A and B are shown apart, each in its own frame.
Chain A
């Protein structure tokens, strides 16, 4: 792209996952001009990661119904009417839908639209333990990315721990690619899992998927253990062993049950957090929905946020998976088409009543699952003081406890007192953990919800050169 370009379109869509792609497709089909911004080089989000050019897969593909559906939607995306900008990052959102977009490492392009759809997806949630910063402790997401984007196993053998069905999905992909899983350690209890059945029944695709994961574990003789907490990762330069303990009904460690497992790789994941930073920057009101992942973008039945002509769709409005994202991307598109008078009201209304029904079902499903696989707040009590919480600034649990004791009982307060969230990842990793710590140790008196965090540009670290005048820049 010419670096002097200024892009001006009808609709700017941020995030090319299921929600963004579905939304852009419907808009473009109706002759609306769309600028689709995606940080990765591929479209389709986390679920459609695949090998790039230069690497060709001859392996038997894993059978995944959700993935197949996503690929089908991706194939419907026609580039007519769409300005696609992959490998880009939105670093600022300003009034009247003006976005600063970083292209590559050093060029900033201004993108303007009449409407904005925010569909940044979700990121992984983590639970800190001593040693989780050691090389060799990786996220379950990294297992998938390494296999799907590079065709490389992150290790020949690994332990998988944390909470959620994504642990099984990572184990499945890893074993399918030739890796050996020692065991899958689930933090929550098993009995409660029997209660998931009524919530998944409307979604046969998900039942089939879950059954496939579990049967793969059984086939490979990999144990799936419940009420197991990763208590510590040990090693000097890199991971050497992992200490695991049993937990009680409240989620507290049962002292004396600790066991050491020798492994140089541990993959951890504890569910997902909505990516809401850019929505906060756009001024959208937030809503704390602990069962849907914490802070979510507040939307109405048409996916409109509190800011005029700004929409949110998919995981940012609450964690409930790809099917919700697809439906919300559609609803946002239909609403925009209605506002632009591209489709008759009657047609839009029919879509909305169906969409509203389906969203409720997705939210029920999401809340149910997130609730089943949630590490209880009480578990935070067991985190030793020496545990790093903010990885970028090396802020420890003890620092945060002391700050709270000293009266810094809000996220901005803890930030000021400890420098946590102020490092290079800008709080992406530690803010959800800090929100949980605040809910447990310093719950606000009026409401049980922590304060939302403010979010200002740049949304990610940017080289100063990116802000220089283009002519000056090229003279460097």
Chain B
């Protein structure tokens, strides 16, 4: 299981642990966290490839503008990971 708590900042109570699956791998997260932050904490930096040049891309603006962090979430393509809070049982597919 990919799980890195090294990037989770000390001194924050994380009240509700949840499990999501990223490309089939279980990843632990906490409700309230955005999917983008969870992916970074779990070591998923490349989220997709660019449409024309097929170059690797990851989160960039972090606030819903650049649309670099699009992922398939629960079967729905083109969801902005940075604007989505994780939920227990969430299924995430990255094409990167």
Contact = CB atoms under 8 A, between A and B. Distances in A.
**Do A and B originate from a single complex?**
yes
B15 A152 contact: no
A393 B66 CA distance: 12
A238 B57 CA distance: 8
B48 to A, nearest CB: 10
A156 B50 contact: no
A238 B9 contact: no
Interface of B: 6-16, 30-34, 36-38, 40-41, 45-47, 50-53, 55-68, 70, 76, 78-79, 82-83, 85, 96
Contacts of A138: 58-60, 62
A144 to B, nearest CB: 8
Of A142, A393, A429, most B-chain CB atoms within 10 Å: A142
A80 interface: no
B34 A149 contact: yes
Interface residues of A, number: 52
Interface in A209-236: none
Which 6 interchain pairs have the tightest Cβ spacing? A142-B62, A135-B58, A54-B32, A150-B37, A394-B52, A59-B11
Contacts of A145: 34, 62-63, 82
A11 to B, nearest CB: 25
Contact of A149 (B37, B53, B57): B37
Interface in A382-433: 388, 391-394, 423-425, 428-429
B46 A52 contact: no
Nearest to A239: B45
B14 A141 contact: no
A123 B37 CA distance: 20
A56 B63 contact: no
B65 A393 contact: no
A155 B36 CA distance: 13
A150 B12 CA distance: 10
Contacts of A71: none
A107 interface: no
Contact of B13 (A41, A56, A137, A425): A56
A53 interface: yes
Nearest to A237: B56
Nearest to A57: B12
A104 to B, nearest CB: 11
B24 to A, nearest CB: 20
A54 B15 contact: yes
28 contacts: A55-B32, A57-B11, A58-B11, A59-B9, A59-B12, A124-B61, A133-B60, A134-B55, A134-B56, A135-B45, A135-B47, A135-B57, A135-B58, A142-B62, A146-B40, A149-B34, A150-B38, A151-B33, A152-B37, A152-B38, A152-B41, A156-B6, A177-B9, A237-B56, A238-B45, A391-B68, A428-B65, A428-B66
Nearest to B70: A424
B40 A151 contact: no
Given A139-B62, A142-B59, A428-B65, 11 more contacts: A41-B85, A54-B14, A58-B13, A135-B47, A146-B36, A152-B33, A156-B7, A392-B51, A394-B50, A394-B53, A424-B78
A39 B64 contact: yes
A98 to B, nearest CB: 24
A56 B33 CA distance: 11
Nearest to A150: B37
B66 A55 contact: no
Contacts of B30: 54-55
A51 B32 contact: yes
Contacts of A51: 12, 32
Interface string A1-43: 0000000000000000000000000000000000000011100
Contact of A151 (B14, B61, B65, B85): B14
